[in-house]
A and B are shown apart, each in its own frame.
Chain A
Amino acid sequence: MATTQLRAAATEPQPAEDIAGVELRGVTRRFRSSRSGEVVALRGLDLCAAGGEVLAVVGPSGCGKSTLLELLAGLGDPDEGSVAARGITSREGRLAACAYMPQRDLLLPWRNALANAALALEVQGVAAGSARRRALPLFERFGLGEFAGALPAELSGGMRQRVAFLRTLLAGRPVLLLDEPFGALDSITRATMQEWLAEALATEPRTVVLVTHDVREALYLGDRVAVLSPRPGRLVAELCVPFERPRPRRETVTDPAFAALEERALEALEAPR
Chain B
Amino acid sequence: MTVVRRWLPTALLLGAGVAAWQGVASLATVDDLTLASPAETVAALADDLPLLLDGALVTLLEVVLGLALAVAVGAVAAVGMHLVRPLHRAAYPVLVASQAIPVVVLAPLFVLAFDYGLAPKLAIVALICFFPVTVNLLDGLRSVEPDLLKLMRSLGASRLATLRRVELPAALPSFFSGLRVAATVSVIGAVFGEWAGADEGLGRLVLLANNQLQTPRVYAGIVLLTLMAVGLFLLAGLAERLAVPWKRAEAARP
Contacts and interface: CB of A to CB of B under 8 A. Distances in A.
If over half of B's interface residues share one DSSP class (helix, strand or loop), that class is named, otherwise mixed; here it is: helix
B246 A153 contact: yes
A108 interface: yes
Contact of B246 (A73, A119, A123, A151): A151
Nearest to A171: B155
A96 B154 contact: no
Given A106-B148, A108-B169, A110-B169, A95 B246 contact: no
Interface residues on B, range: 20 to 34
B151 A106 contact: yes
A122 B161 CA distance: 9
Contacts, number: 62
A110 B246 contact: yes
Interface stretch (A44-52, A97-105, A245-253): A97-105
Contact of A123 (B148, B152, B244): B152
B249 A153 contact: yes
B156 A102 contact: no
Interface string B148-164: 10111111111001100
B28 interface: no
Contacts of A124: 155-156
Given A100-B151, A171-B155, A122 B249 contact: no
A80 interface: no
B147 interface: yes
B150 A70 contact: yes
A253 B158 CA distance: 44
A205 interface: no
Contacts of A109: 246, 249-250
A74 B169 contact: no
Contact of B250 (A70, A74, A153): A153
Contacts of A154: 249, 253
Interface string A164-179: 0000000100000000
A258 B153 CA distance: 38
B243 to A, nearest CB: 10
A259 interface: no
Contacts of B156: 95-96, 123-124, 171
A75 interface: yes
Interface string B87-122: 000000000000000000000000000000000000
Interface in B225-254: 244-246, 249-250, 252-253
A86 to B, nearest CB: 15
A120 interface: yes
B246 A98 contact: no
Interface string A6-47: 000000000000000000000000000000000000000000
Nearest to B150: A75
Given A104-B147, A108-B166, A75 B246 contact: no
Interface string A102-132: 1010101110000000011011100000000
Contacts of A108: 165-166, 169-170
A153 B151 contact: no
A123 B158 CA distance: 7
Interface in B119-161: 145, 147-148, 150-158, 161
21 contacts: A75-B150, A95-B153, A98-B154, A99-B154, A100-B151, A102-B150, A104-B147, A108-B165, A108-B170, A109-B246, A109-B249, A110-B169, A110-B244, A119-B155, A123-B157, A123-B161, A151-B249, A153-B252, A154-B249, A171-B155, A171-B156
Interface of A: 70, 73-75, 95-96, 98-100, 102, 104, 106, 108-110, 119-120, 122-124, 151, 153-154, 171
